Structure formats: C-alpha cells, structure tokens
Amino acid sequence: MSVNKGKEDPLRPIVGRQLSAVVFVQDYVQLQFDGPGLTAITWPAVVVGNTKYEYGRPGYRDALCERIATIVSSTSVKEGEEIRIDFNDDSVLLISLKPENYSGAEAAIFHNGTEDTWVW
C-alpha cells in the first residue's frame, strides 16, 4: 500500500464508475464507487444546476443520495483548495481542502482497493 504516491489525479479510477452508495456515519460520509471509496470528513457540497446544497441545509441529504447510480465524468484535486467530482448529469460534488474548513486532522481519504490510499 502507498499513501499519497505521486499520481497527477488520484481519483481517476472512479471516472466512468457510478456512485453506488452513500453512507452517513455520525460526523462524516462515505461515498462508494463500485469498489473504490472516498471518506469525506469535511462534508461535501453538492451543486445541482444553480443550487448549492451544503450539510445541514434543507435538501442536502436528498441531493447527495440522488447522485447514487450517476456516473462520474471527471475528477480533479487542487491541493489546499478542493476535491471536485463531476457527474454525467452535470451535478458536482465538492470537498473543501482549505484548512479553515477541516473538522478534523484530515478532510478526505480515498481508498483505491489495495493499491493506493490518499489522505488530504
């Protein structure tokens, strides 16, 4: 296993996969993509059309769960800024990597099976 081993886009393995599960665990959420998984300790925002849904606001959980079975079309990571996951329905999932938005020691952890683990 390697941790944060120099790949340009560590989330590339989820491109073309569907979001298969959203698991709410007390103070974080786990997103599963038919194998690889992303644990978001910093709650992701969901953008659908012109509406941005944020944790604790009406419609947030529905907007996040409605992405289940939606295919990931692209991903990007901007260190110190954000993790971005674009879906083929034009919705976007954003996880802030800004230190002031961290609720713990990490913002997110990505597991790509037994190959790599990424921690931000």
The pLDDT tens digits of the residues spanning 54-103 come to 999 999 999 999 999 999 999 999 999 999 999 999 999 999 999 999 98
What is the count of structural domains for the chain?
A: 1
For residue 34, the tally of other CB atoms under 10 A from its CB is 12
Task: Measure the CA–CA gap between 84 and 26, rounded to whole angstroms.
Answer: 23
For residue 43, the tally of other CB atoms under 10 A from its CB is 19
Q: What is the mean pLDDT of the chain?
A: 93
Residue 50: pLDDT over 50: yes
Inter-residue contact 83 to 32 (CB < 8 Å):
no
* 3-class DSSP assignment, residue 18: strand
H-run or E-run covering 64: helix 60-65
Domain coverage including residue 113: 2-119
Helix intervals (H) in the chain: 60-65
- Cα maximum dimension of the chain: 40
